[in-house]
A and B are shown apart, each in its own frame.
Chain A
């Protein structure tokens, strides 16, 4: 079992719809959770981070964390073609010394 798992996609959503991305992790003591957006050939860009159970909203993005179920999700509201990218989930484990990344979910927003 991978430490951080994501569906590779592609997740195809129509423009204006909500994209829902999920991530599960194996280290129950994990402390910090991050979502990065990566365009093809570019470096990952941090878009959201969450530390506590519940929801955290920032613009069109909402991160949701459920530590009991060991999953973190990302919602993208009013999806735009510019949101087409790969989204990487990253988790800082109980040791708190480095991030472990999932394989990424590719999102395609169709006009």
Chain B
């Protein structure tokens, strides 16, 4: 099984609908992140969480919300989806222990299309 699992892998939804993207991890990491990727724009941070009680906005949080249900679960919601939220969404985790390599482990991504 993958260390970081995202569901669904693909989703087509209509404008105005509420949609939730889910992420779960088995790495035991406290830190979790949601990024979106658009062609030519790299990865842009939406929200991040350093533990269950910690939620922080990233650079493009408008139109999104998150929930950290447990150490292992971090969900991203689009309250009212719009077409320019069509993108590839990635969840990632990282280890915050001192002296440990602190790069991210990514999930497989969710391709979201808003029509």
B33-51 to A contact mask, C-beta < 8 Å, 1/0 = 1010000111111001010
Contact B42 A102 (CB under 8 A): yes
- State the majority secondary structure of interface residues on B: strand
Contact B90 A44 (CB under 8 A): yes
CA distance A92 to B94 in the complex (A): 12
Contact B90 A43 (CB under 8 A): yes
A-B residue pair count with CB separations less than 8 angstroms = 51
Chain B's closest residue to A3 (CB) is B59
Contact B103 A97 (CB under 8 A): no
Chain B's closest residue to A32 (CB) is B102
Chain A's closest residue to B4 (CB) is A43
Given A42-B108, A90-B104, A104-B42, 17 more contacts at CB 8 Å? A34-B104, A41-B109, A43-B90, A43-B107, A43-B108, A44-B43, A44-B106, A45-B106, A97-B48, A98-B45, A98-B58, A101-B35, A101-B43, A101-B44, A102-B42, A103-B40, A103-B42
